[in-house]
Amino acid sequence: MLTVRDLSVEFTTDRGVVTAVDRVSFSVDKGEMLGIVGESGCGKSVLARSIIRILPMPPARIRAGQLTLDGTNLLDLSEREMQKLRGKAVTMIFQEPMTSLNPKFKVGYQIAEVFRKHFGLRSSEAIERSVEMLALVGIPDPEERAKSYPFQLSGGMRQRVIIAMALAGDPQLLLADEPTTALDVTIQAQILDLIREINERSGTSMILITHDLGVIAELVQRVIVMYAGQIVEMTTTENLFDRPLHPYTVGLRNSIPDIDSPVSKYDGPLNEIAGSVPALDDLPIGCYFQGRCPKRMQVCADRQPVLKEVSPGHHVRCWLND
Amino acid sequence: MIFYIVRRLLQLIPVFLVMSIVVFMFLHLVPGDPVDAILGNEATEEAKASLRARLGLDQPLIVQYFMWAGRVLTGDLGNSIVNGGSVLDTILQKAGVTIFLAIGSVLLSVIIAVIGGTIASANKGTWIDLSVLGAALVGVSIPSFWLAILLMMTFAVNWQLLPSIGYTAPAEDFTEFVRHLILPVVTLGAIMAGALSRLTRSEMIDQLSQDYIVTARAKGLSKFEIVYKHALRNALIPIVTFAGLELGTVLGSAIVIERIFSLPGLGQLIVESIFLRDYPMVQGTILFLSLIFVLINLLVDISYTLLDPEIRLGGEQRND
């Protein structure tokens, strides 16, 4: 349904052009939930925003071999044509429920905007439909809550409102950028349940962006691991946990604390991946992960590995699997 | 919301108290004796003493204040020393010109600033933005009297499109009233628009970088809807606050502008009364202007309840 081939996003900065997303290729099938994981700054949010084309351009520049949604080449569309798709065919929800809603408008009105814009409904009908959407995402007393301003709602409620807003257009593709990161753990679980339910009921394809492997394990079937703007591993969720091949993926998996082993002071510190993500304007020749890799070889510093399919559906960018 | 307004009204009481003391004291602190002014320097001591007694100037200051404040509360601002006419009547008669001038120029500046500021913010860093910033800088830097003379020379003297000085009451001839006010209103409006458009621009740039703007874009809203509905709605509070302050300061600028354009307003009245040492008139006019200034600020405060739901519903509990 969504096909992305050789998508790159470059930013023009004071210190030159940096590549935030580097020749990324993947596809999402109808009804599929794809996860994208990686540390902050790995390009996962930029990737999602470039699909829906809401990056500020300039400084951003998108280049792609192909970016098609249901046969429509998104990069060929004018901004006006793109506006007709945003909120309807493809939409996005964000990390910060506290600030992602406009503080000066009632939440019902903010959802109703989608109905008015994309379905041409009159205000009263649009408000009725938004009350239905609020009920759908499990907000109690939706009629009253539609009249609330964002500051009158809790974080979890607001995230439900944002999800309701995203679903209002009945999108084919929903991009969720860290939808649960800013929420309490119990609320996180509720929101994840809601997302799963929506996916099962409406068959909406989703791209779920997160740095939380727990969320990945809960929800998605297939995962992309990104590092410094590149895909370093792409495989099923099962493989990701049982047979990770890239040292970075292994490191990510090992950094999850084991809930079953009691933590005591003899256990030593939590596992982590040493070092930090290299700056995008200061990337090494060869493999971008070489500086932090426990299995570094000479070839890693000389030449950059390519993303290879090592077994059906399992792609890795690492010289170890060459 | 009612609570908010009542609280604002109660807060005005000490403001009025301090204001009245300052206005009262002001006249007793400036050099020059009103009795000398009225009777002239050659008057006898007895004549001076009897006038002092008649005006209550022989009483202790505190008694004088309460006598004056008591009269003010009943709407009696005294009579002009110069012509004996009622101060309040004179003020009310002249207030219209100043109020039209003030409201007209502030409205003009808000219109220019909101259009200029939002267009600049939506095109940040481009030549459009730079042109608006440049024009705003010119507006901020030009002295009002100079712009007034320049406009007068261009439109009244050279092109003879508009009258250069004078005033016609709106009831008399509305077209002439408008024609006479155009140049003074444009002078003040253009100058105030400078600072206000810079404020609008920076406030809008701030709002346009907020998360809710990205949400609005992801919904498919157009740039126009995002800028003029979502962002401007959030930028309004500082804009309205600043416009309210401008409305206050324009009362001060009016003194110069009314003088240049010979408008018979409160600014002219103050200047003339000071020259004539017409103390009750100066006192009354300043008190009246301060009162209007305070009321404008009250209106600005009340407008917050319309602009910000969080202030309007301040008492309500969050539904966590």
Distance CA A44, CA A234 (A): 14
Closest CA to B181 of B98, B302, B275, B58: B98
Determine, for residues B217 and A101 on separate chains, whether the beta-carbon distance falls below 8 Å. no
- Domain of residue B142, residue span: 89-278
Give residue B6's pLDDT.
87
Q: Is B220 part of any domain? A: yes
Q: Which residues of A295-319 are buried (b: 16+ CB within 10 A; e: fewer)?
A: ebeeebeeebbebeebeeebbbbbb
Q: Given a cut of 90, is residue B130 above it in pLDDT? A: yes
Give residue B149's pLDDT.
92
Distance CA A297, CA A83 (A): 48
Determine, for residues A103 and B219 on separate chains, whether the beta-carbon distance falls below 8 Å. no
Mean pLDDT of A21-26: 88
Q: How would you list the strands of the sheet with A308-311, edge to edge?
A: A90-93, A173-177, A205-210, A33-37, A222-227, A230-236, A314-316, A308-311
Determine, for residues B318 and A152 on separate chains, whether the beta-carbon distance falls below 8 Å. yes
Determine, for residues B220 and A85 on separate chains, whether the beta-carbon distance falls below 8 Å. yes
Q: Is A240 on the interface with B (CB under 8 A)?
A: no
Q: Is A96 on the interface with B (CB under 8 A)?
A: yes
- Reported as a single tens digit per residue, the pLDDT across A155-190 is 888 888 998 898 888 888 999 888 887 777 788 888
Determine, for residues B221 and A113 on separate chains, whether the beta-carbon distance falls below 8 Å. yes
- Between B247 and B314, whose confidence is greater? B247
Contact residues on chain A for B319, CB-CB shorter than 8 A = 145, 148, 152-154, 157
Distance CA B228, CA B114 (A): 10
- Reported as a single tens digit per residue, the pLDDT across B21-50 is 888 887 777 666 777 767 777 778 888 888
Q: Given a cut of 80, is residue A29 above it in pLDDT? A: yes
Q: Given a cut of 90, is residue A240 above it in pLDDT? A: no
DSSP H stretches of helix in chain B: 2-29, 34-39, 45-55, 61-73, 87-122, 127-141, 144-151, 174-208, 211-218, 223-225, 232-261, 266-275, 279-307, 309-312
DSSP H stretches of helix in chain A: 44-51, 79-85, 107-119, 123-136, 142-145, 155-168, 185-202, 213-219, 237-242, 247-254, 298-302
Determine, for residues A149 and B313 on separate chains, whether the beta-carbon distance falls below 8 Å. yes
Give residue B88's pLDDT.
92
Mean pLDDT of A104-132: 89
Which residues of B lie inside 8 Å of A (Cβ-Cβ)? 210-212, 214-223, 230, 233-234, 307-310, 313, 316, 318-320
Q: Is B11 part of any domain? A: no
Mean pLDDT of A6-16: 85
DSSP string for B25-53? HHHHHSSS-HHHHHH-TT--HHHHHHHHH
Closest CA to A275 of A253, A306, A248: A248
Per-residue tokens: B53: 């007694």
Distance CA A190, CA A196 (A): 10
The CA-atom distances, in angstroms, between B15 and each of B9, B18, B22, B74, B298 are 10, 5, 11, 19, 11
Sorting pLDDT into bands at 50, 70 and 90, what band is A264? low
Sorting pLDDT into bands at 50, 70 and 90, what band is A295? confident
Which residue is listed with tokens 């621009």?
B201
Out of B230, B310, B318, closest to residue A102 by CB: B230
Closest chain A C-alpha to B313 CA, distance in angstroms: 9
- Reported as a single tens digit per residue, the pLDDT across A49-103 is 888 888 887 788 888 778 888 888 888 888 888 898 888 889 998 888 788 999 9
- Reported as a single tens digit per residue, the pLDDT across B259-293 is 899 899 999 999 898 888 788 888 899 899 888 88
Which residue is listed with tokens 């570094």?
A296
CA atoms within 13 A on the CB side of B10: 6
Residue of B nearest to A116 (CA): B221
Mean pLDDT of A217-242: 87
Give residue A265's pLDDT.
53
Closest chain B C-alpha to A104 CA, distance in angstroms: 6
In this prediction the pTM is 0.82
Burial (CB count within 10 angstroms: exposed 0-12, middle 13-18, buried 19+), residue A63: middle
Give residue B8's pLDDT.
85
A23 within 8 A of A88, measured Cβ to Cβ:
no
Give residue A217's pLDDT.
83
Q: Is B49 part of any domain? A: no
Tell me phi and psi for residue A260, to 5 degrees.
-80, -25
Q: Is B262 part of any domain? A: yes
A97 within 8 A of B231, measured Cβ to Cβ:
no
Distance CA B248, CA B99 (A): 11
Q: Across chain B, what does the average pLDDT equal? A: 87
Determine, for residues A96 and B309 on separate chains, whether the beta-carbon distance falls below 8 Å. no
Distance CA A86, CA A173 (A): 10
Out of B217, B219, B230, closest to residue A114 by CB: B219
Per-residue tokens: B237: 């509070």
Closest chain A C-alpha to B217 CA, distance in angstroms: 7
Give residue B161's pLDDT.
86
Per-residue tokens: A166: 């995203």
CA distance from start to end of chain A: 31
Q: Given a cut of 80, is residue A273 above it in pLDDT? A: no
Sorting pLDDT into bands at 50, 70 and 90, what band is B235? very high
Q: Which residues of A195-234 are buried (b: 16+ CB within 10 A; e: fewer)?
A: beebbeeeebbbbbbbbbbebbebbbebbbbbbbbbbbbb
Q: How far is CA B286 from the centre of its chain?
A: 12
Could you give the 3-state DSSP secondary structure of residue A18?
Answer: strand
A134 within 8 A of A108, measured Cβ to Cβ:
yes
Determine, for residues A102 and B217 on separate chains, whether the beta-carbon distance falls below 8 Å. no
Per-residue tokens: A86: 């945003």
SS (H, E, C) A159-195: HHHHHHHHHHCCCCEEEEECCCCCCCHHHHHHHHHHH
Q: Which of A46, A104, A130, A145 to mutate to test the interface with B (most CBs of B within 10 A)?
A: A104
Give residue B28's pLDDT.
73
Q: Which of A55, A100, A101 to mutate to test the interface with B (most CBs of B within 10 A)?
A: A100
Number of folded domains in chain B? 1
Q: Given a cut of 80, is residue A203 above it in pLDDT? A: yes
Give residue B320's pLDDT.
40
The region of weakest confidence among A216-225, A286-295, B68-77, B91-100 is A286-295
- Reported as a single tens digit per residue, the pLDDT across A311-320 is 888 888 888 8
Give residue A262's pLDDT.
57
Distance CA B227, CA B216 (A): 10
Domain residue spans of chain A? 2-227
Q: Is B124 part of any domain? A: yes
DSSP string for A232-285? EEEEEHHHHHHS--SHHHHHHHHTSPPSSSPP-TTS-SPP--SS-PPPTTSPPS
A41 within 8 A of A70, measured Cβ to Cβ:
no
Q: CB pairs below 8 Å between A and B: how many?
A: 89
Could you give the 3-state DSSP secondary structure of residue A133?
Answer: helix
Q: Which of A152, A167, A178, A207 to mutate to test the interface with B (most CBs of B within 10 A)?
A: A152
Give residue B319's pLDDT.
42
Give residue A260's pLDDT.
64
Give residue A258's pLDDT.
66
Q: Is B69 part of any domain? A: no
Contact residues on chain A for B310, CB-CB shorter than 8 A = 103, 149, 151
Q: Is B286 part of any domain? A: no
Q: Is A88 on the interface with B (CB under 8 A)?
A: yes
Q: How far is CA A15 from the centre of its chain?
A: 28
B264 within 8 A of B272, measured Cβ to Cβ:
no
Q: Given a cut of 90, is residue B106 above it in pLDDT? A: yes
Sorting pLDDT into bands at 50, 70 and 90, what band is A18? confident
DSSP state of B318: P
Under CATH, which number does the domain A2-227 receive?
A: 3.40.50.300
Distance CA B167, CA B183 (A): 12
Give residue B131's pLDDT.
94
Q: Given a cut of 70, is residue B199 above it in pLDDT? A: yes
Q: Is B217 part of any domain? A: yes
B279 within 8 A of B138, measured Cβ to Cβ:
no
Distance CA A90, CA A175 (A): 8
Sorting pLDDT into bands at 50, 70 and 90, what band is A42? confident
Domain CATH number, residue B227: 1.10.3720.10
Closest CA to B233 of A99, A104, A100, A109: A104
